[in-house]
Amino acid sequence: MNLLGPTVSVYMVTFNHLKYIEQAIESVVTQKTDFPFELIIADDCSTDRTTEIIERWHKSYPQIIKPFYHTINLGAQRNFSKIIERCQGMYTAILDGDDYWCSKEKLQKQVDFMKQNPELSSSYHRTKVFNEESKSFTAAMPPSSNTVEQITIHDLFNDYFIPSSSVMFKTGLFRKFPEWYFELPIGDRPLHILNSHHGPIGFLNEEMSVYRIHSQGIWSLKHYDELELHLNKKIFMLQQFDHYFEGAYHEDIHNAISRYRILLAIEKIKVNNEQAAKEILADLMPERVRYRKNNKKVVIFGTGQFAVNFIKLCGLLGIQVAYCVDNDTNRQGNHFQQLPILAPSALLSEDKTELSVFICSMYYKDISSQLVKMDFVENVHYFDGLNSEAIMKIL
């Protein structure tokens, strides 16, 4: 680290970000700090006018902006690693070329926070989510119900999501990226894992960046094949980390892989490929499935195709469903998939603290409101049986 150089290196990877790059760059160069910082931009062969905008800003801020234009497309991860090598600051901050910072004091506040908490390897803050299609702010990440002062590498193996454009970390905590890193679909999560091996990640409860959701974003996975490939790559990543850390986090990693395999099985069941789901789950031992810590009774609200898929999944996992609930009085008293169909009032006779109700219906909002009136709490007593990620939280 050059002691006379910048305190913070901001790195930005761009590719065809014509619509967004100007706002991203401006949000960096207008930061108010009592220390020097640099903005390193690596453009990965954009075919629109992204590079023209970068160059124009470079001419206006030559002391801050350091652009690099690749002549061949390196891909996200190799571009990512190349730019990391050029960061000279004590700390490194991330900003994707299609996101932006919404606080001019973001860098100053985060550096102060890191200095006040020297045990941290990294820090992050709350991020607003902007939907390009609706042109509105739709949420914040992480949600207020899911924040802690510090997270560890164990949380990251359990899929805790950190908005990349909120992250700042100590530069140089590891020497270089392992070669398998370049085969991964995303680069930020493995970076956070590598850094968090050297210390926890602290949280600042302020909204200081904006994350854009748009059709070209990496998380816009629209097809089943893309999702399956993405999940398999995550499993590959975890297997590689198990070797990289020489088994130090084996239990966390094994459990995470098990959950991803369950998620793959869910997707197979959705496309009526039950045999493939069986093969995926074949060697998952019941005691390795992180499910029902208190052995809660499972009840399904709904008796349609979604419920059929959920019952199949429970069967493959060796989980017994007690009964189904349905609002249709013509169905009540009958059986569905060999399970009795009861009226919703049957839930009132249960100890809700010992119950897990899964709503397997397209009418989730209506049923959710119905259960709330019965004093059931979402994601405590009842869950969205159609949401794979929600299911994963209790598996």
pLDDT of residue 293: 45
Res 214: pLDDT: 72
Provide the Cα torsion 12, 15, 19, 20; round to 10°: -10
**Calpha distance 76→66 (Å, rounded):** 18
The number of CA neighbours under 13 Å toward the Cβ of 37 is 24
pLDDT at 215: 62
Residue type, 37: F
pLDDT in tens, 204-240: 999 999 999 876 554 444 455 677 888 888 999 999 9
Q: What confidence score (pLDDT) does residue 185 get?
A: 73
CA distance 308 to 386: 11
CATH number of 291-392: 3.40.50.720
Element (H, E) at 323: strand 321-325
Q: How far apart are the first and last CA of the chain?
A: 44
Given a cut of 70, the residues of the chain with pLDDT beneath it are 1-3, 145-146, 215-225, 283-294, 388-395
pTM (predicted TM-score): 0.78
DSSP state letters, 271-290: TT-HHHHHHHHTT--GGGS-
**Residue 320 CA to its chain's centroid (Å):** 30
What is the Cα–Cα distance from 108 to 9, expressed in whole angstroms?
Answer: 13
Q: What is the DSSP letter of 210?
A: E
Segments making up each domain of the chain, as ranges: 8-213, 224-281, 291-392
Cβ-contact 120, 38 below 8 angstroms: no
- The DSSP letter of residue 145 is G
Q: What is the DSSP string of 230-270?
A: HHHHHHHHHHHHHHHTTTTTHHHHHHHHHHHHHHHHHHHHH
Superfamily for domain range 8-213: Spore Coat Polysaccharide Biosynthesis Protein SpsA; Chain A (3.90.550.10)
Amino acid symbol at 356? S
